[in-house]
Each structure stands twice: as structure tokens, then as C-alpha cells.
């Protein structure tokens, strides 16, 4: 009897946690009078007065590292799902967008969801947040005990993933998101 009550309480609590998660809108675009750096279908706008270096890796337009004058680096890349996700979405028979939603909501219906979240460094100290602009989503893993913070940008119905990596806090994340022109 105790096990049934405990299971019911845990189910109710996990549903409350899932229901309390919210989707944030993208911050307002702020790209006037800034340098536009294009990575395939994504444009990142940066203030030229704070820019130190732009490095296109391997002479491609699929990965760029932007370095500011304070030496903060931000890597922006078009990554196939096999790199960003290890193709885990296929193993679970999901789209890329569905997979990110499962991670975000910590869907208890998915076997080993705790291990999946752990593989992406998602925990209490590194929570996942979600931003939405129409059918484009930014899934953010940001915190204190990982090597770098990450933003995964994906359009619903697409396998394309843009990954933005670096060290940033909430206000810097807002600046990053407001500096993206999404042509996906």
C-alpha cells in the first residue's frame, strides 16, 4: 500500500514539475549597425567594437569561432545530429525536436531518461531551458559544473542543429539569442 501511495505522489510531483516548465520567447532582435556573421542559414550579429577575432574553421561556412576583446570565445556550428546527439533521437524513434523536448521535460515515459539527461550534463546545477520563436527552438544547457554552456537551435520538422558553445551567464545568453537572425 505504501509503495502505491509513494508511486502516486512521485507521479503527481513529476507532473507538476513538467507542467511548471515554461517556454521563453526569444529576446527582441538587436542587430542594427553590427557585423553579420553567417553560418549557413543562421546569422550572428556582433558589435565590431567588442570583436577581437573571427575564425572560420577548416575554411568552411559551417563553423566559426568569434572571440571578443575580453577573450571570451563563442563557437557557432552547424552540427549533424550524429555529432550533436550521437543519433540518440533515431535510437528512440524520434525527430530531433522531439528528442530535445523529451530532454527538456525529463519525460518519465522514456527509458533511462536520467542517463540521457546526464549524458547532456543536465541536472540541478546545469538546468535546461527552452526558448521559442515560431517553429524554431533554442534548447539551452547552462550551469556551473560543465566545460562549456551550450545552445542547440532546431526548427521543428528539421534534423538541422546549430550548436552555440562557450561560457556565458543568463544576461550573456539573452544577448546571444537577441543577436541571432534565424533564416532556417
pLDDT at residue 15, as a whole number: 39
Predicted TM-score (pTM) of this structure: 0.84
**Does 157 have pLDDT greater than 80?**
yes
Closest CA to 65 of 165, 175, 174, 172: 165
Alpha helices for the chain (secondary structure H)? 2-20, 81-84, 88-91, 96-105, 113-119, 170-178
pLDDT at residue 59, as a whole number: 63
First to last CA, the chain: 52
Q: What is the pLDDT of residues 84-100, one digit of tens each?
A: 999 999 999 999 999 99
**Does 122 have pLDDT greater than 90?**
yes
Closest CA to 45 of 56, 33, 53, 34: 34
The rounded mean pLDDT for the chain is 85
Please compute the mean of the pLDDT values over residues 169-176 and round it to a whole number: 93
**Pair 148, 167: CB distance under 8 Å:** yes
* pLDDT classification of 160: cutoffs 50, 70, 90: very high
Please compute the mean of the pLDDT values over residues 36-54 and round it to a whole number: 91
For the chain, what percent of residues have pLDDT higher than 90?
61
**Pair 26, 138: CB distance under 8 Å:** yes
**Least confident span in 20-24, 101-105, 109-113:** 20-24
**Domains in the chain and their CATH numbers?**
2-182 (3.40.1000)
pLDDT at residue 147, as a whole number: 80
Closest CA to 120 of 157, 84, 72, 154: 84
Amino acid at each position: 500500500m505504501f509503495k502505491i501511495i509513494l508511486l502516486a505522489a512521485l507521479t503527481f510531483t513529476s507532473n507538476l514539475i513538467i507542467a511548471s516548465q515554461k517556454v521563453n520567447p526569444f529576446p527582441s532582435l538587436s542587430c542594427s549597425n553590427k557585423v553579420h556573421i553567417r553560418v549557413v542559414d543562421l546569422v550572428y550579429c556582433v558589435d565590431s567594437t567588442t570583436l577581437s577575432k573571427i575564425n572560420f574553421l577548416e575554411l568552411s561556412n559551417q563553423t566559426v569561432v568569434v572571440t571578443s576583446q575580453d577573450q571570451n570565445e563563442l563557437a557557432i556550428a552547424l552540427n549533424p545530429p550524429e555529432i550533436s546527439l550521437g543519433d540518440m533521437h533515431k535510437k528512440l524513434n524520434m525527430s530531433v525536436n522531439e528528442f530535445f523536448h523529451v530532454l527538456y521535460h525529463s519525460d518519465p515515459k522514456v527509458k533511462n531518461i536520467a542517463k540521457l539527461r546526464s549524458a547532456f550534463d543536465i541536472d540541478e546545477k546545469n538546468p535546461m531551458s527552452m526558448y521559442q520563436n515560431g517553429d524554431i527552438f533554442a534548447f539551452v544547457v547552462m550551469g556551473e559544473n560543465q566545460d562549456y554552456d551550450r545552445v542547440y537551435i532546431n526548427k521543428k520538422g528539421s534534423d538541422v542543429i546549430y550548436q552555440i558553445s562557450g561560457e556565458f551567464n543568463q544576461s550573456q545568453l539573452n544577448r546571444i539569442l537577441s543577436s541571432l537572425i534565424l533564416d532556417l
